[in-house]
Chain A
Amino acid sequence: MDLRYSASDEQFRKELREWLGDVLPAIPPEPGPHEWAERRAWDTTWQRMLFDAGYAGINWPTEYGGRGATLTEQLIFLEETTRAGAPYIGVNFVGVLHAGPTIMAEATEEQKAAHLPRILRGEEVWCQGFSEPGAGSDLASLSCKGERDGDEYVITGQKIWTSFAQIADWCELLVRTDPDAPKHKGITWLMFPMDTPGIEIREIRTIVGSSEFSEVFFDGARVPVANRVGAENDGWRVAMVTFGFERGTGFISDLVETDRLIAELAALARKVTRRSGTAWDDVALRRDIGHLQAEMDALWAMTKRNLAQAERHGVPGPAGSVVKVYYSELFQRVTDLAMQLLGRAGLSRDDVGELASGTFVEERLRSTSFTIAAGTSQIQRNIIAERILGLPKDR
């Protein structure tokens, strides 16, 4: 165990900081939450800038065009980009953080060559077509059909909660290819082009009023067998690899973001007036903030350990569930405290006068999804209990 930064780490940080200082001021303002085409353009332009500067796919191996950075450099990268307020990964989330890594781990050389460089350059946006109306927590019961017809699969059925479906080029799609096999044994993982005829996308309105996810209907859409990743009917195992990346490393930048939010909360408390002073005079509030920051620091330290282990073993393990369950609930508690602090200013999702309050209200609403998306907190706890602790299953 050694937490010190080496000279080359510091050099990496210095160069990155300089680069961010150069490029960030020229970036146009972020488009609104409903402007999907603009958001795609904004997010992919940033991805391209990262690529050109050699920062895209910071943790991807160099053979796939990534930087192949050390673990420490990855953490420095996240810290610095978040601190500098650089664009978030946005619509590139699926491609860069879990579809790409799954392709790296499971796909053929040809498939890798076709997709990985394009994902890195921001030329390909991916979405995730896993969940269905009848298959959420019980994902393995999915029923969207993939029927073999010569060298194609014919897809019929429905997906739901597909984030970014309306602007994605590709979808990591799970389909049932053997309806007679036990449920985990008849699933196949496909790379599905979103411009295939025979699909319809219907946006779903979320509780924040945006439409970040959609229903996707497949009516005899045809996809080449060559787009399959892994063997036919071995898709459940491939999906577990995807989850390993999604749950294991997908949340790290959110952690840095949470850290920043706690600091902003403390700043906000000094601006909220109460009686003759400010909310910061309230010792109970200060202690709550101190407590949350302690949890945050511990979570960050734990994440570093997880990353170190993941690096040693290749794929992140179920420890990702520990981060996910703790992070999502911690984030909700941070934004809950903010709501408490804001009082009547919390009636608005926009900033109120001089108070930078809008973000907190918005994040409180948005974060209700954190304990649901990518496996609910209940499912994560089941995974911890059953796969880590070895407790007997109740189903």
Chain B
Amino acid sequence: MDFELSDDQVALQEGLRSFCQGRLPMAAVRELEATGGIDRALWRELAEMGVFALRLPEADGGVGLGWADAVLAFEELGRAIVPGPLVWTHLVAGLVEGAAEGTAIVGGLPRDDQSRLVEYAPSLDALVVLDDAGAWLVDPSSLELEPVAHPLDPLVPVWRVTGLLPQGERIVGVEDPAALQEQGAALVAATMLGVAEAATDLAVGFAKERVQFDRPIGAFQALKHLMADMFVRAEVARGAVYAAGVTLDDPAVGSVRRAVAAARITAAEAALGNGKTCVQVHGGMGYTWEVDAHLLLKRAYALEPAFGGREEWEEAMADLVAQAG
């Protein structure tokens, strides 16, 4: 057993982190609000970094890596709260034309979704509709859409499908929609892990600087413990997220579904818990638009229902436990 990152993995992680730091500091991410969360030039740069073609074989123009590497990449994208339908586009790279190369932006939603909200709708070149029978490709320009005036996350704008949601064309290559759901959930968990870590860093940085009662507020145990808990939540989630990546690559090591459920549940806990605590540690500043804390919290909420919400994964886990026993 070797649960340490390889040198290549460290290089992948650092490469994406420095890309995000250089190209997507929070100020640049905020500017994406004006363009509905999407900048096509940036999308192609992400493709060049291998974000979408990461797991495709090198022979097919991919990077030839696996899920364990993909979760590391998405952790970094989460840390920088890069907007856009990154997970969907990654999942269908190689299956939908242009996804791997970053020329097609692909979004998605579950067919039985009551809300019928589609993220980034006008920017999408293709839309995946997922149901029990498979994954279906729908032309977004064929949909009747109504914009939502006030999205939860300003960087995740949403539109509502008011008319019919067509059946779409079956995506060849998605044999098992449940497996796609698991893969999506694993990448969402990795993204949430990144958000959780960003929240810890932001809170700790602030607590070292902000002085009240003649000392940095981080000196107060009440706050120290809050931030220690942030760190603990993220570390626990990290273990589960990395394990989910490894298990997806090599199902011989355990149940994929179980590994994904553990990652998804603990990562959501970390992202939401840390997002809230980050606001709290900032005091009044945390309630301002200017400070980034709210963007992390809102992203945590926006990710929460993606690829099955908490109750779905908790029930899945309970079923697995019952089967195992």
A and B bound? yes
CB closest residue in chain A, given B308: A343
Binds B, one of A74-82, A305-313, A369-377: A369-377
B223 to A378, Cβ gap below 8 A? yes
B287 to A273, Cβ gap below 8 A? no
A372 to B294, Cβ gap below 8 A? no
A227 to B305, CA, bound (A): 55
**B305 cross-chain contacts in A, Cβ below 8 A:** 342-344, 346-347
A161 to B287, CA, bound (A): 10
B287 to A368, Cβ gap below 8 A? yes
A345 at the interface (CB under 8 A from B): yes
**B280 cross-chain contacts in A, Cβ below 8 A:** 368, 371-372, 376-377
Question: What does the 1/0 interface line of B298-325 toward A look like (CB < 8 Å)?
Answer: 1001101100011100000000000000
Binds B, one of A3-11, A35-43, A200-208: A200-208
A62 at the interface (CB under 8 A from B): no
A372 to B152, Cβ gap below 8 A? no
Binds A, one of B41-49, B107-115, B133-141: B107-115
A368 to B152, CA, bound (A): 14
CB closest residue in chain A, given B162: A353
Nearest CB in chain B: distance from A182 CB, A: 13
Nearest CB in chain B: distance from A379 CB, A: 9
Name which of B116, B284, B297, B309 has the most chain A CB atoms within 10 A of its CB: B284
B79 at the interface (CB under 8 A from A): no
B289 at the interface (CB under 8 A from A): yes
**A361 cross-chain contacts in B, Cβ below 8 A:** 152
CB closest residue in chain B, given A340: B310
B142 at the interface (CB under 8 A from A): no
Nearest CB in chain B: distance from A385 CB, A: 10
A394 at the interface (CB under 8 A from B): yes
**B289 cross-chain contacts in A, Cβ below 8 A:** 205-207, 209
B114 to A372, Cβ gap below 8 A? no
User: Contacts A136-B212, A378-B222 hold; do A349 and B150 have CB atoms under 8 A apart?
Assistant: yes
- How many chain B residues sit at the interface, stated as a range, is 35 or more
Q: Which of A122-160 contact B (CB under 8 A)?
A: 131, 134-138, 141, 160
A114 at the interface (CB under 8 A from B): no
A332 to B288, CA, bound (A): 18
User: Contacts A160-B284, A347-B158 hold; do A382 and B222 have CB atoms under 8 A apart?
Assistant: yes
Q: Which of A318-365 contact B (CB under 8 A)?
A: 332, 336, 339-340, 342-350, 352-353, 355, 358, 361, 364-365
A347 to B156, Cβ gap below 8 A? yes
A186 to B114, CA, bound (A): 60
A332 to B275, CA, bound (A): 13
Nearest CB in chain B: distance from A345 CB, A: 4
CB closest residue in chain B, given A272: B114
**B201 cross-chain contacts in A, Cβ below 8 A:** none
Q: CB < 8 Å: which of B115, B211, B288 contacts A345?
A: B115
A273 to B111, CA, bound (A): 13
Name which of B115, B220, B221, B294 has the most chain A CB atoms within 10 A of its CB: B115
User: Contacts A206-B288, A207-B289 hold; do A347 and B151 have CB atoms under 8 A apart?
Assistant: yes
**B286 cross-chain contacts in A, Cβ below 8 A:** 207, 368, 372
B222 to A348, Cβ gap below 8 A? no
A291 at the interface (CB under 8 A from B): no
Name which of B110, B211, B215, B283 has the most chain A CB atoms within 10 A of its CB: B283
A394 to B221, CA, bound (A): 9
B153 at the interface (CB under 8 A from A): yes
A344 to B287, Cβ gap below 8 A? no
A304 at the interface (CB under 8 A from B): no
B301 to A372, Cβ gap below 8 A? no
**A204 cross-chain contacts in B, Cβ below 8 A:** 288, 290
Nearest CB in chain B: distance from A332 CB, A: 8
Nearest CB in chain A: distance from B261 CB, A: 16
A353 to B160, Cβ gap below 8 A? yes
B119 at the interface (CB under 8 A from A): yes
**B149 cross-chain contacts in A, Cβ below 8 A:** 350
B213 at the interface (CB under 8 A from A): yes
Nearest CB in chain A: distance from B40 CB, A: 23
A342 to B112, CA, bound (A): 14
A300 to B150, CA, bound (A): 33
**B297 cross-chain contacts in A, Cβ below 8 A:** 368
Question: What does the 1/0 interface line of B198-241 toward A look like (CB < 8 Å)?
Answer: 00000000000001111101001111000000000000000000
- Show 25 A/B contacts (Cβ-Cβ < 8 Å), sorted by A: A131-B284, A137-B213, A137-B283, A205-B289, A206-B287, A207-B279, A207-B288, A207-B294, A209-B289, A272-B114, A284-B311, A339-B304, A342-B305, A343-B114, A346-B304, A347-B152, A348-B117, A348-B150, A349-B150, A353-B115, A365-B152, A368-B279, A372-B284, A373-B284, A395-B220
Query: Which residues of B line the A interface, CB within 8 A?
Result: 109-110, 112-117, 119, 148-153, 156, 158, 160, 211-215, 217, 220-223, 272, 276, 279-280, 283-284, 286-290, 294, 297-298, 301-302, 304-305, 309-311
11 new A-B pairs (CB below 8 Å) besides A345-B115, A368-B276, A373-B284?
A137-B217, A141-B214, A205-B289, A344-B110, A346-B152, A348-B150, A348-B152, A352-B148, A378-B223, A382-B222, A394-B221
